[in-house]
A = this chain, B = another copy of it.
Amino acid sequence: MIRAGIIGATGYAGGELVRLLLGHKDVEIKWYGSRSYIEQEYASVYRNLFQIVDDVCRDDNMKELAEQVDVIFTATPQGFLASVLDEELLKKVKVVDLSADYRISDVSVYEQWYQIPHRSPQLIDQAVYGLCEINRDRIRKTRLVANPGCYPTCSILSIWPLLKEGLIDPDTIIIDAKSGTSGAGRGAKVQNLFCEVNENIKAYGVASHRHTPEIEEQLSRAAGRPVILNFTPHLVPMNRGILVTAYASLKEAAGPEGGGSLPSEAQLREVYERYYGKERFVRFLPAGICPETRWVEGSNYVDVNIAVDPRTKRVIMMGAMDNLVKGAAGQAVQNMNLLFGLPEEEGLMMPPLFP
């Protein structure tokens, strides 16, 4: 039985982690950390777990926690884990960090976009970026997983195959993303009140959102050279779900006579089939079917598809997933499974809930 502790268990991602781990046959939650609700019953914060969870919330004592558990999940504000993690802790316990602290390999990029100093830059190298479909083997061998952001997970998985295969121009990538409101967290802010979000859609963080360098770093790996791109998130009046609509220009293959030709949609589809055909959690949809967030709600799936526009010679790459599952807690469990040598899909095979 894997003993798990959660720091930040009363945020939306933390709550989802609890839900998923309760259904995982090899895990026992030993520590519900929540600085805001210390000594209060966890089930009084999330009443869906009444008569299911009996524990109370506890303070963020990493040292004590490291003695009691095998894995710590940190669903905490940026900077928290970097300020408390050290080599000693990592010798005792594995860590899956749902914050951004170890996602960016260049500490100056982190500090510039997050506007806080990084307190343990020496550990960044040890961390593995926990996008399981890409880094599976490296995750199995690490002690510290940087669980990807919600937008980056959906964006990278949607774009990766075509970029990796050199079929799109890396300089033309534009990602227009839409998220449900649980992504904004459970903090009491006027802008996230029901009446402010309902019956509204808006862009935010335009040309400045902190997930941008995370996406760029990973896509640069795929492209084999630096990628900079536009990323625009939007807030949608729904609880869960992220939809990515990404655009890029197709590269023309050099023709025999010098004239170029575009890859056909069939050729592009074959690439996705090859990359994702054996993945349990990435579903490449039939031609002509657009991903929709309703079809993945509550599950760890990412639905992906593409459409080619021969008029503009662009491809539109689309992905849909549940931001709290594959975009946070589900992927964290998937990473934990890899860390402990369990089947990657253990505890994650529940079908999506509809409607």
Contact = CB atoms under 8 A, between A and B. Distances in A.
A238 B197 CA distance: 10
Contact of A22 (B194, B241, B309, B351): B351
B232 A316 contact: yes
Contact of A182 (B195, B204, B293): B195
Interface in A254-309: 283, 285, 289-299, 303, 307-309
A297 B195 CA distance: 13
Given A178-B201, A228-B311, A351 B240 contact: no
Contact of A353 (B19, B189, B295): B19
B203 A193 contact: no
Interface in A295-329: 295-299, 303, 307-309, 311-312, 314, 316, 318, 320
A234 interface: yes
Given A194-B181, A197-B194, A240 B188 contact: no
Number of copies: 4
A290 B178 contact: no
Interface residues of A, number: 81
Contact of A50 (B200, B283, B355): B283
B290 A48 contact: no
Contact of A186 (B23, B193, B243, B318): B193
A91 interface: no
Contacts of A234: 178, 243, 245
A355 B198 contact: yes
30 contacts: A23-B351, A48-B296, A48-B351, A180-B199, A186-B190, A186-B195, A188-B188, A188-B189, A193-B194, A194-B196, A195-B239, A195-B355, A198-B238, A199-B238, A199-B239, A199-B294, A201-B238, A201-B241, A202-B293, A203-B245, A203-B290, A203-B318, A207-B311, A228-B311, A230-B247, A230-B312, A236-B236, A240-B355, A247-B247, A298-B353
A350 B351 contact: no
Given A189-B188, A234-B245, A228 B312 contact: yes
